[in-house]
Structure 1
Amino acid sequence: MDAHSASGRVQAKGRPLPLDVSWVLSPLLALPGVASGVVLSRDGLILGGSANVTTESGERAAAMTSSVLGAARALCAGLSNGADDEVVDIVISAGSGYYYVAPAGDRAAIVVAATGGVNIGTLAYEVQLQVQKLIKALDEASAARTPGVRA
């Protein structure tokens, strides 16, 4: 089953997600060497994905990425001697290329898979631009659901 319905919204267990932020991946997928991507909540739920990511693989990637981010946060906290070290990004180098993970505030993250030919510096820069857009979109969506709060 494809991760997107005919309307372009990501499917999760047969239903569209309440907030699909797959749009944040579009500029990243346009970069040479970037193959796929997933947007996830901090607790590992899929919030969006590229068209070539199935629901099952997107959910699996979201859950594993959430675990990797949790481990990275614990590592930083354990080795920082009490300093408030925030995880900015994680780059995993694999035989097939790279997996680039970037938290988006304390609520979400982006993970993209790229070939070994990707310009990792350009990818890092572009992901951080999209992270800022994602944080803003999540803030606005949260404010819209909370009576009396304006973004």
Structure 2
Amino acid sequence: MDAHSAATTAQTRGRPLSLDVSWVLAPLLALPGVASGVVLSRDGLILGGSAGLSVEAGERSAAMTSSVLGAARALCAGLGGAADGEVVDIVISTGAGYTYIAPAGERAAIVVSASGAVNIGSLAYEVQLQVQKLIKALDEASAARTPGVRA
């Protein structure tokens, strides 16, 4: 059984997640300096999270990230005039480190929190690799739920 088909154990408010894609965070959490992560749907629902991340923190992060991504899209469209411009990533730098946000197509996003010791270039590269895997997994899950559609 591969990571994509592993049984889901993640919970949200006492209910199992309909699709747990926490596996996408494992390579990112292995990077020096990366502390935690969450995967969310475009509308701010948790699709996966790192071990030790409370449900409340995950839900708060997912909701705020959904808002940040919407604001970033609007800002880019307003400043650049390109309404179809795709946001590739958002890096928030603080005195304590970074929050890295990467949309995964139109349906999801990956968010990771890292200390200032992280190699931000390596993190950006690894996140984009995981974004591609997540998009593929979501496409496959969608096709499996839609009769007559193959990914």
TM-score (norm 2): 0.93
* CA displacement at 1:83 relative to structure 2: 5.8
* CA displacement at 1:8 relative to structure 2: 6.2
C-alpha separation between the residues in 1 aligned to 2:59 and 2:130?
A: 21
Unaligned runs of 5+ in 2: 1-6
The AA in structure 2 aligned to 1:26 is A
Secondary structure of 1:133 counterpart: helix
C-alpha separation between the residues in 1 aligned to 2:49 and 2:125?
A: 20
The 5-angstrom pairing of residues 101-140 of structure 1 reads 101-140=101-140
2:14 is the counterpart of 1:21: no
* CA displacement at 1:82 relative to structure 2: 3.3
For the 8 Å contact 2:76–2:82, the answer to whether it is kept is no
Q: What residue is the counterpart of 2:87 in the other structure?
A: 87
The AA in structure 1 aligned to 2:104 is A
The AA in structure 2 aligned to 1:111 is V
2:141 is the counterpart of 1:141: yes
Residues 64-117 of structure 1, C-alpha deviations (whole Å, 9 max, x = no match): 000000000000110112363110000000121000000000000000000000
The 5-angstrom pairing of residues 3-82 of structure 1 reads 9-82=9-82
What is the alpha-carbon root mean square deviation over aligned residues?
1.1
The AA in structure 2 aligned to 1:63 is A
TM-score (norm 1): 0.93
Q: What residue is the counterpart of 1:4 in the other structure?
A: none
